[in-house]
Amino acid sequence: MQKDKVNRRTFVKVVSASSLAASLPIANFSILPSTNPGTIKVGVVGTGNRGTHLMRELLAIENVEISALCDLHPERLDRAIQICQDAGQKKPEGYTGDEYAFRKLMEREDLDAVIIATYWEWHAPMAVYAMKHGKYAGVEVPAALSLDECWELVNTSEETGVPCMMLENWSFRKDNLAVLNMIRNGLLGDIVHCHAAHSHDCIDHWFFDAEDGHQRWGAKYLLKYNRDQYPTHGLGPVLSWMDINCDDRITQIYSCATASTSINAYFKRRFGNDHPNANLDYKQGDIVTSTLRTKKGKSIIVNYDMQLPRPYDNRWMIQGTKGIYNEQRVAVHLVDRSPAYHEWEPFRPYEEEFLHKWWKDRDSKAGGHGGVDSLELELFVKAVQDKTQTPLDVYDSVTMSAVVPLSGHSIEKNQPVEFPDFTRGRWKGRAPYFAM
């Protein structure tokens, strides 16, 4: 729906639907047993590496039944079906054949929720279709690749009253939630500035095969676009740290990109000058830096860095009027607590002191990514069981995802661009909800 072309009938419809979505009870989100512990039935679309991993996490959660699976590749689908049966569940129904086979899965009346772990371009269309058929949508990152898709997710969730949650697992990390508790307890004072990044050399496993350099599904994005392809891991915890969409919002983004040199250099170094991919014209710059400004004057720097040789790093830094947290240093400096005025002190004691309730009495080694994936899915499942809003709502999901297209627009224009208000003004006076 075009935001600047809303007639009266459409306006009334959207406002009424917004009220419906807003009326969903906000979950308490504890790990206590659900108030409605009946079995929920889940469908999983996309049974590759990530989808299979999420399946295994779901199978470990009590009162979850994976009733349906969908994948373009029959061999992947058969493997996923066998995983469910090996876990002691009855054989789920399988859907394959073409790119629209997912529709039959989502049209089933017995499913409560759908997990979407497909190629990026299918995330938003599938989530929209799931919501239109009454299914909670848990969609992998990013939730959308264009502004039109962002608005379609928001409009559909508001019109149907069905939640949509992007599965941004870094929002649920033990350290990030402890930092959130510290901020909410006033240790950093008024938050002013934040830095975040996704620094992860993905050339030889996300975008190309390590053995022969064959293009994988993600390579086409590097050839076609110059933008921040993957901002959500960096931004995940930042939105709650800075109360974005809760009495503040992002209003502007300015992005710039370096030249594209690293991919060609990689292929020449690894496979020689004659490799077919060594001399292609890649549009994607090696590093993209985006500066985001909020309505209340806060700033956020977000880096994309997925093509140069380097170890993994998120480079979080959050700074306020009374202190600073630096993830790379694993350190803090706090005006009222740090013993030396200009020195860092270790963060780990603070992580334990301000341990979030979601992590208390929890085995941090259980499940993928240090237990983060299992925690995220447990909270998603509990919301489905209780028919409450999801831990991350559709507004935060699209706010993180919108950096993908907006950074590309800004780079192309070489100027700042407006950041849409996906809440349509509901951010004003809105109390924080995440991890409360």
pLDDT digits 0-9 by tens, 287-299:
999 999 999 999 9
CA 27, CA 360: separation in Å to the nearest integer?
18
Same-domain pairing of 175 and 76:
no
- Taking residues 222-230, report their average pLDDT: 98
| Interval 150-167 mean pLDDT | 98
Mean pLDDT of 204-210: 95
Range of the domain at 280: 171-365+392-418
Average of per-residue pLDDT across 258-262: 98
Residue-averaged pLDDT of the chain: 92
pLDDT in tens, 74-111: 999 999 999 999 999 999 999 999 999 999 999 999 99
- C-alpha angle with apex 151: 171 to 421, nearest 5 degrees? 70
**Worst-scoring range by mean pLDDT, 32-36, 45-49, 113-117, 281-285?**
32-36
At residue 12, the 3 state secondary structure works out as: helix
Q: Is residue 432, in this structure, part of any structural domain at all?
A: no
Q: Say whether both 210 and 81 belong to one domain.
A: no
Q: Is the pLDDT of residue 165 over 70?
A: yes
Contacts 24+ apart (CB under 8 A), 70-75: 70/43, 70/44, 70/45, 70/46, 70/94, 70/95, 70/96, 70/101, 70/102, 70/105, 71/45, 71/46, 71/47, 71/96, 72/96, 72/98, 72/99, 72/101, 73/48
Per-residue pLDDT, averaged over 229-252, amounts to: 98
Is residue 143 in some structural domain? yes
pLDDT band at residue 361 under the 50/70/90 scheme: confident
**CATH code of residue 236:** 3.30.360.10
Last residue of a domain, one of 129, 144, 169: 169
> So what's the pLDDT on residue 362?
80
Q: Are residues 24 and 165 in the same domain?
A: yes
Q: How many domains does the chain have?
A: 2
Q: Are residues 203 and 115 in the same domain?
A: no
Confidence of residue 133 (pLDDT cuts 50, 70, 90): very high
Roughly how many angstroms between the first and final C-alpha of the chain, as a whole number?
A: 33
pLDDT at 35: 64
Pairwise pLDDT comparison (367 vs 142), residue with the higher score:
142
Q: E strand or H helix at 238, and its extent?
A: helix 232-241
pLDDT band of 9, cuts 50, 70, 90: very low
Q: pTM for this structure?
A: 0.92
